[in-house]
Amino acid sequence: MKEIMTVVSASSLGKIYEANGVKVEVLKDIDFDVKRGEFTIIDGPSGSGKTTLLNIVGSIDKPTSGKIIVFGEDLRARDEDFLASFRCNNIGFVFQSYNLVSTLTVAENIAFPMEWARKNEDHIRGRVDELLGLVDLQHRAEHFPFQLSGGEQQRVAFARALANDPPLLLVDEPTGNLDVKTSSKIIQILSTLKEDGKTIIVATHDEHISELAQQRLCLEDGMLMSENE
């Protein structure tokens, strides 16, 4: 089977939200590609459409117009069942607000995507230990999310996103709410993942993360202002 080199391909992508009868055009005519193993950042001021673009790439949201192809699949044309399996096996998502399940412990939150992927128990236990080691949270395994600091929750979110070893990692503002010390830990994790050859797209303002980028997409008012390789 021919290996797909372009992981993400967006063409003429547009997104319009409608609230209280008012239409808001969040993304306008976006075109870009992300290649396998590439580290891409999406930059831009708040409200420029970074999270919406990540959501569309991650198949959590659908574009109003245009085409989005990820790993050769036209996501706009696929139904929810397909997209669920697709997300489970191909995409790791780190949300801006962490989105950890409040009723599950750290270990359970990390194990969760693997349970969906029907991995066996030994594999899940081993992988949870490995990922807890990666994010340096072995001592927090049995704690609930509300018992963790923001930085720790962010690291759990990373571990969870990596659980099924997805080829594409989408990260939304990973250091936005964190102090310098905690941010550097997150950057270190991203750097390690980049070295491992993961395709990573990060929405961020953080200059330290930008330094890792091989491609930089600048959004302003929903439009792609520049695309720097």
Partner 1 sequence: MSETSFSINDLLRRKMQTSLVIISLALCVASTLFLLLFAQKMGFGISSVVEGKLTAGFSLVFSPFITLLVILISAAGIVMISFTAFIMTSQRTRDIGLMKAAGCPNNLLFGYFFTELLIVSLVGCFVGTILGILLDMASTSLLNGLGLQFSQQPASPWMPIAVFVSFFALCLILGGTPVLSAIRAEPARAFSPAHYLGLGKEPGFKVVSKSGISLRIAVRTLVRHKSATIRIVLCLSIVFLLVTVAVAGGLIAEDTTGSWVEKAVGRNTLLIAHQDMVNQYKLLLSEFYEGQKAIQFNYTDERYLIPSSLSSQLRSLNGTMGVDARLVLEEPVKEVPGIIYGSSTEQTTSVGDSRQGESLVVGVDPGNVLNDWSLNGRFLAENQSAEAVVGDSLAGKLFSSPLNQKIRISNEDLSVVGVCLDPINNGNVTYVPITTLQTVTGVSGPNVLMVKLDSSANETDVLKKISSIVANAGFQVFPLDEAVDKSVGFLNFIWSTIMFLPLFSLITASLSLLGYVMLTIDEQRQEFGILRALGAKPKTVLAIVSAQSLIVLLGSYAVGIAFGIITTLLILVQEPLVTTYTVIEIAAWLLLALAVTFASSVYPAIRFAKKPLLETMTQS
Residues that bind partner 1 (CB under 8 A): 55, 58, 60-61, 80-81, 84-85, 87-89, 93, 95, 99-105, 107-108, 111-113, 115-121, 124-125, 128, 141-142, 144, 146, 160, 164
Q: What is the largest CA-CA distance in the chain?
A: 52
Do 115 and 124 touch, CB atoms closer than 8 A? yes
Least distance (Å) between residue 90 CB and partner 1: 9
Q: Report, in Å, the least distance between residue 226 CB and partner 1.
A: 28
Question: Two tokens at 217?
Answer: 């997409």
Nearer to partner 1, 102 or 181 (CB): 102
Per-residue three-class SS string for 97-159 = CCCCCCCCCHHHHHHHHHHHCCCCHHHHHHHHHHHHHHCCCHHHCCCCHHHCCHHHHHHHHHH
Closer residue to partner 1 (CB): 103 or 180: 103
Report, in Å, the least distance between residue 61 CB and partner 1.
5
**What's the rounded Cα separation, in Å, for the pair 96 and 14?**
22
Q: How far is the CB of 108 from partner 1 (least distance, A)?
A: 7
Nearer to partner 1 among residue 115 and residue 165 (C-beta): 115
Q: For partner 1, which is the closer residue by CB, 104 or 223?
A: 104
Q: What are the CA-CA distances from residue 98 to residues 123, 153, 175, 187, 191 (Å)?
A: 24, 6, 11, 16, 20
Residues found in the chain: 229
Torsion angle of the four alpha carbons 103, 119, 151, 132, in this order, in degrees rounded to the nearest 10: 110
Q: Please, what is the minimum distance in Å from the beta carbon of residue 96 to partner 1?
A: 12
Report the residue number, 110 or 213, with the smaller CB distance to partner 1.
Answer: 110
Q: Among residues 38 and 173, whose Cβ is nearest to partner 1?
A: 173
CB of 23 to partner 1, least distance (A): 17
Pairing type for strands 168-172 and 199-203 reads parallel
Q: Which of 59, 18, 42, 66 is nearest to 224 (CA)?
A: 42
